Amino acid sequence: MEKIKTVVSIGGKEYTICGTDSAEYIHRVALKVNAKLDEMKKANPALNNIQLAMLTSLNLADDYTKAHDELVATKKELERVKKELERQAPGNNRTVPYRK
């Protein structure tokens, strides 16, 4: 795959990102990092840039981990529901009592 170079501004500094993702995607990611960095800076104005970067990284990792855990749980629930629906589907030789 062709490498794409994208220049983004994070925390007021420019970085060149090289990868296979589109420039649009890299800019979206940089916007999320900047938003979280600004949030951390407002909540913790006494921290230096390295401390802010670390706190921002931890918060983004926390957001990612929670979203990932929710996705895994949702996939498990979806599989459970699919199996239940398959079990209840007509033609699976299941006898259903009929009452009039």
CB atoms within 10 A of CB 82: 10
- Residue-wise pLDDT tens digits, 51-78: 999 999 999 999 999 999 999 999 999 9
74's tokens: 């949702």
Confidence of residue 89 (pLDDT cuts 50, 70, 90): confident
Q: Is the pLDDT of residue 9 over 70?
A: yes
Q: Stretch 30-58: mean pLDDT, rounded?
A: 97
77's tokens: 């629930």
Cβ contacts of residue 81 below 8 Å, gap of 6+? none
